[in-house]
Chains A and B, each alone.
Chain A
Amino acid sequence: MRSETAGRVGETDALDIRHLSKYFGGAVALDDVSLTVRRGEVHGLLGSNGSGKSTLIKVLAGFHTPEPGAKISLYGKSVPLPIPGAKVRELGLAFVHQHLGLIPSLSVTENLQIGSLSTGQDWAINWGAAHREAAAIFARFGLALDPKAPVGTLSAVQQALLAIVRAYEDIRKATENHVDRPGVLVLDEPTPFLPRAGVEQLFGLVRQCTELGASVIFVSHDVDEVREITDRATVLRDGHLIDTVVTADTSHEAFVERIIGRTMDVYAGSNKQPRTSTPSVAVSNLSVAGVGPLGFDLAEGEILGLTGLIGSGFDNVPALLYGARKGTTGQMTIDNQSFDLAAFNPIKALEAGIAYLPADRLGEAGIGSLSVGDNVSMPVYGQLRSALGLTDRQIGRHARKLGQGAGVKPNVPSMSLAALSGGNAQKALMAKWLQIGPRLLLLDEPTQGVDVGARQQIWDALDRTAQSGAAILVSSTDYEQLAQLCHRVLIFARGQIVAELSGADLTKDLIAEHCYRSMPQLA
C-alpha cells in the first residue's frame, strides 16, 4: 500500500512508546507494550474487549498514570508521565472519541472553535471572520459543511468528519511554532455507527490529514476497516502486544487469528441442550432504524445469546422486544399470544410476562437514591399490602427474603441501591424481575462491572429460571460468558443475524471469530 511513503529515513518517529505497563490493582491492563507510530502513517490498533486498547489510549490522553519505567516520546522529545491532560494538545496529540464531543445546538463554527472560544480572552468575536475561516478550512479538506448550520442538523457522517477536522486543526494550531512536529491524531472507534459510504468519506479525510504530515492512530474492532486504511497495525490481546504488522502483507485471517489468539482455548463448547423444544417465543420482521428486519425464536427453558461487534445492533434487541423504544415494527408471539411491536409498551410487556433488565444499572434498571427494598419490591407492591397498607417493615421483610435468595451482600433492604457494589446491585435487580416469574426475560449485558463470584451467582439464577420454563434472551459482548451461559448464540453484523452457534460450536473463540469474520460478507 503506502507503507513505503511512511517513515522517511533520518527522521524521528512521530510517537514512540517504550515499556508501557499499567496494572489496576492486581489486574494487568497493559504489559510492557512498546510501539512506534511513524510520521504520516495511519497506525491501526486492534484488539477485542479488554485487550488493553482503551487503557493505552487513556494513558496517552492523560487519564491513567502508567507504571514506572515507561517512556513515551513525541518526535524524539520525551513527554512527562503521566501525560498532563490539559497539555496533550500542545504536545501534538488530539483525540476523537466515539462520542464525538460536539454540542448539537451550537453551530459548526462554534463547535470548530470551541477550544479557543472557551479558553480565549476575546471581547469582540468577529463572527464573519470566524465563519470565513471555518469555510476556508472545510474548503481545504474538500468538505461541504455550512459553518452556520447547527451541528444537530448534520448527518452522523458529517459530525464525525467535523470532529476529525477539529482535532486536526487543534493540533495544527497548537504546534504552529514547530512545523517539524505535525502531530498525532487518535481516532477511537469512529466508525461503528456510520454507513459504509460515510466510512469511505471518513477514510478520505484521514488520508488528507496524513498527506499534510500528521500521523493517525486508528482504533477499531473492524478488521476490514483496519486493512483498508492503515499502513501498519498493532494487535493487543489481554494487555500484551501480540504483533505489529505491515497491513499490506497481512491477510484478514492472520489478523483475526492474532486478535482472538489460540492460547486461551481452555473452555470447550458448553454443549448445553435446551431442555425442551417447545416453542415459547417467536419474533418476526423485527425492525428499527439500523436493525433488521429479522426474526428468531426461543424454546421454553432456552437461554439465547445475542452478540456482535459494537454498532451491529444486537444490543438494541432486548429493549425493542420490551416495547421500550419508539419506531419499532414487527410481530412477537409469546405462548400463542401475538403482539404487534409497533403498539407495544413496557406495561403490555409486563402483562404478557416479559421482564427486561437494562444494562444501565443506575440509569434505567434501578434508582440509586432509593433503598434496595423499594427498588426490588416495586413490581409486587400490590401483593405486599396489608390491611393497614404498605409499610416499610413489610417491604423490608420481603426484600430481605429476596436478597437472601439472590445472595445480595450486605442484605440490608434499607441501604440505598447506589451503596451496593455493582455485582450486588445486579443480583438485587435481577431478583426484582425473577420474583414475578417472567415467561421471557430480556437481559442487556447482565454481568458488566460484576465481579467473578457474583457473576457465577447470576448465571446460576438464570439457569434455574430457564429450567423452570422461562425463555431468556441475553445480549452481551462477553463471548466467554455467552459460551458458558447460552444454549444458542446469534451473531449480528450491520443489523442482521449472520450466524448461529450452538452445541459444540458454541465456544468463546468461535463466537469471536464469527464476529470478526462477519464483516466482509456484508461490506
Chain B
Amino acid sequence: MSTGQTSDPIAAYEKRIAALEAKLNTLEESVISRTVRESETFDWKTWAERFGLLIAWGVMILILGAFKPDQMFAWNSYASMFGSNAMVVVLTLALMIPLTTGDFDLSVASVMGLSSMLLAVLNVKMGMPIGGAIVFVLAAGAIVGLINSFFILYFGVHSLIVTLGTGYFINGVILWVSNSNTIAGVSMDLVKAVILTRLFGIPIGFYYALALSVLVWYVFQHTSLGRRLLFVGRGREVARLSGVNVNRVRTGALVASGVIAAFAGVLYTGMRGASDPSSALAFLLPAFAAAFLGSTAIYPGRFNAPGAFVAVFFLSTGIMGLNFLGVDSFVQNLFYGGGLVIAVSISQLIRGRKPMD
C-alpha cells in the first residue's frame, strides 16, 4: 500500500473499518472462547455421547436381569458369550478398516467362510499341519483383498458392487471346495488354542479379539498411518494433495480387511472343530451393525475399535437375554437388523448436531 494518505477519505474510511473489524473480532473471540472453555472442561452431552452405549449396555443387563436374575447375573453366561462372539469382533474390525478409508467391503463374511472351509479342507482332507494351513488361509484373505482393490481402483467400480460380486463368487468357491459338505475333525490343537483353554472362565479366543481390538485402536488413534486412513476416507482429494498415496492406502485397507476376516474364519473353525459351507455368511450383518453402532460411541463420529468391541457385546447381550426369556431365535435377526438401522440413524443425528463425518 502507498504511504501516508490520511487526508484521503478512502484511506480514512478503511482505517475506521479496520478498527471496527478488530473490535468485532475480539468480541467474537470472547464469545467463542467462553463456549469453547465450557466444552473443554466438562460437557454432559459429549460425555453421554461417548459412553452412552456402555450405559445402555448396563441398563439392558439390569432390565433383563430383573426378569431372569439367575442367568443374567451369572458370570458363566457372559464368559461363554464373550468366547462365542470373538470372531464377530474380529470380523467387525476387518470391516471397519476399509469403512474408514471410504470403501465398503461386503465380502468379509464370505472371506471368513472361505478361510474356515479352506482350513478344514487343508487340515482334514489334505493332511496339512494346522500351522501351515493357517498361514495359507490368511494369505488367501490377502489375495481376496488384492482382487477387490484391483477392481475398485483400476476400473474405478464402486466398492459396494465389487465386493458384493466377489463375496458371492467366494460363496461359490466355498461350495466347490467343500462339495457342499460340512467338514469335521479339524486339529484339536486349534480347538484348544481357541476355545478349550480358558482364562477367568472365558475361552482364550476372546483375548485374541481383545488384543486385535487394542492393536487396531492403537493404529487408528496413535499412528500417522491411522490418521492417513481417516484422511483418505474423509477427503480423498485433500489427502492426495497432501502427499498421501491414496491408492496404496486403500489397497492396504482392503488387504488388511481380507487378512483379518480370514483370521475370523480361523477362530470360527477353532471354536467348532469343524466347518460348514454357509453359516459364516450370516455374520455380515452383525458385523455391519456393530461397526456402525460402534461408530456412535467412545470416539463418536469415527469407526473405532473400542466402540465396535462394546457394540458387539451390547448386541449379543441383548440377544442372549431375550433367549433366556424364551423368545425364539428370530429375535437375532430383529436385533441385528434393527440395530444397524438405528445405529446409522443415531450417527446421522450426531453428524447433524455437529459436523463430524
Contacts and interface: CB of A to CB of B under 8 A. Distances in A.
B29 A390 contact: no
Contact of B224 (A358, A381, A388, A410): A381
A418 interface: yes
Nearest to A324: B241
B243 A347 contact: yes
Interface stretch (A57-65, A105-113, A242-250, A368-376): A368-376
Contacts of B241: 322, 324, 346, 356, 358, 364-365
A367 B235 contact: yes
Contact of B356 (A388, A391, A416): A416
Contact of B222 (A356, A368, A388, A410): A388
Given A346-B242, A347-B243, A374 B29 contact: no
B224 A390 contact: yes
Chain B: interface residue count, which band? 35 or more
A7 to B, nearest CB: 39
A379 B238 CA distance: 12
B76 to A, nearest CB: 37
Interface string B4-15: 010010110000
Interface in B1-58: 1-2, 5, 8, 10-11, 17-18, 21-22, 25, 28-29, 32-33, 36, 40
A69 interface: no
B357 interface: yes
Interface string A234-255: 0000000000000000000000
Contact of A368 (B10, B32, B36, B355): B355
A374 B227 contact: yes
Contacts of B2: 266-268
Contact of A346 (B21, B221, B240, B356): B240
A416 B39 CA distance: 13
A419 interface: yes
B234 interface: yes
Contacts of B221: 389-392
Given A367-B231, A378-B242, A416-B356, A409 B237 contact: no
A347 B357 contact: no
A453 interface: yes
B237 A414 contact: no
Nearest to A394: B222
Contact of A452 (B18, B218, B231, B245): B18
Contacts of B36: 410, 412, 415
B224 A370 contact: no
Nearest to B30: A410
B223 interface: yes
A315 B32 CA distance: 35
A45 to B, nearest CB: 26
Interface in A304-343: 322, 324
B218 to A, nearest CB: 7
Contacts of A391: 221-222
A453 B21 contact: yes
B190 interface: no
A266 B355 contact: no
A324 B222 CA distance: 29
Interface in A356-403: 356, 358, 363-370, 374, 378-379, 381-382, 385, 388-392
A266 B11 contact: yes
A369 B234 contact: yes
Q: Which of B5, B22, B355 is the most central at the interface, judged by chain A CB atoms within 10 Å of its CB?
A: B355
A510 interface: no
A371 to B, nearest CB: 9
A34 interface: no
Smallest CB-CB A-B distances: 9 pairs: A389-B222, A381-B224, A367-B235, A350-B243, A268-B2, A410-B32, A367-B234, A418-B355, A412-B36
23 contacts: A267-B1, A268-B2, A346-B242, A349-B243, A363-B235, A365-B241, A366-B235, A366-B238, A370-B231, A374-B231, A382-B224, A385-B223, A385-B224, A389-B218, A389-B221, A390-B226, A392-B221, A409-B28, A410-B29, A416-B355, A451-B21, A452-B21, A453-B21
Interface of B: 1-2, 5, 8, 10-11, 17-18, 21-22, 25, 28-29, 32-33, 36, 40, 218, 221-224, 226-228, 230-231, 234-235, 237-238, 240-243, 245, 301, 354-357
Given A390-B226, A392-B221, 10 more contacts: A346-B243, A363-B235, A374-B231, A410-B29, A410-B32, A412-B33, A412-B36, A414-B40, A416-B356, A453-B21
